[in-house]
Amino acid sequence: MAYIGKQPVVGNFQKCDAISVVNGQAAYTLNVGGSAVNPENANHMLVSLNGVLQAPGDSFTVSGSTLTFASNLATGDVIDFVIILGDVLDLGTPSDNSVSTAKLVANSVTAAKFNADVISGQTALAEAPADTDELLISDGGVIKRIDYSLLKSTPHKTLLSTTTLSSTSNVTFNNSLITSTYRDYYISFSNVHVSSDGTSIGLRFSTDNGSSFNADALYHRTSFGIAADGTTIYKNVATNESQFNLAPLTVGNATGENFSLRLYLFNPLATDNYKHYSGVMSSSDSSANANQFILGGYWKNAADDVDAIKIEPASGNFASGTVKFYGIT
């Protein structure tokens, strides 16, 4: 084929390191830059001995990196040079930054070519991934990418507010927290102390975002518990009250006397059902007796939605403790 200009040179041409002749030796190792090289075959080599080019296959052979002359060399013989022409389709080692993506055959990069630190050597993410961050996952042996949002767990409860009690008259949750985002709610009172001895704890509902709290005879409740003696059982049913009583045996205010409460509020914004609650109250009464009650009840007004609630002691205030309000997914 004719070319305009200089014909392209194809091959991997290498000049071997100088070889010192050893008297009575025919075989010599071929090195380039101190490293052994393996020519394709003898026909891909130019070998000069004592100023004369040698005939490949007749005057010398090659196996791996070993060049073997047809007869032993003697003192005074000189191997002038050995040039390896290489595979005429072998371009040798590519220059830095010269191999593009298009030059790689599909699937040519195998697992064996990845370094062990291909992941650990990267910059670590110092916080939880964003929903749109992507991870690699094997789907039946096929690598695919997936958004973190599809993998992360969704908490059953979402903390909406935390209140630290300190001479607090009441705790109120309104429509800034009770929204259509959540159907049900969970309230936790932890290690709460009251200022007044022998007080009960009341719960009231509002339908006007807390501007007023209903005190009509619409509150119906039940409670079941056991006293500190381990045998006394308390059962109580109350109907048509003006509020829910969450502490059937009241709470004391002496040192060490306190209460903790877990309370669930079910679907308060619905307009087709009574507004139910259930919970567990653990308390110490005025005699330092430990009491445990299972609580439940409903507000008998199905048409109105409850968008605010208030919990308060019958007298005094909440002296200390922590209240957390959660939305339930």
In the prediction, which pLDDT does 149 show?
Answer: 87
In the prediction, which pLDDT does 92 show?
Answer: 61
Size (the chain), residues: 329
Mean pLDDT by 10 residues, the chain (329 residues): 58 88 96 92 94 96 96 95 78 76 84 84 90 91 90 86 97 97 97 94 96 95 83 88 91 90 96 94 78 92 93 97 95
Q: Where along the chain do its domains lie?
A: 14-84, 157-328
CA distance linking residue 177 with residue 185, whole number of Å: 10
In the prediction, which pLDDT does 56 show?
Answer: 95
First to last CA, the chain: 76
For residue 148, give every residue at least 6 positions away whose Cβ sits within 8 Å of its Cβ, in sequence order, or none: 129, 130, 131, 132, 133, 134, 135
On whether the CB atoms of residues 300 and 218 are closer than 8 A, the answer is: yes
pTM score of the predicted model: 0.59
In the prediction, which pLDDT does 221 show?
Answer: 95
In the prediction, which pLDDT does 327 show?
Answer: 97
Identify the CA nearest to 317 among candidates 199, 214, 173, 204.
199
CA distance linking residue 54 with residue 46, whole number of Å: 7
Class of domain 157-328: mainly beta
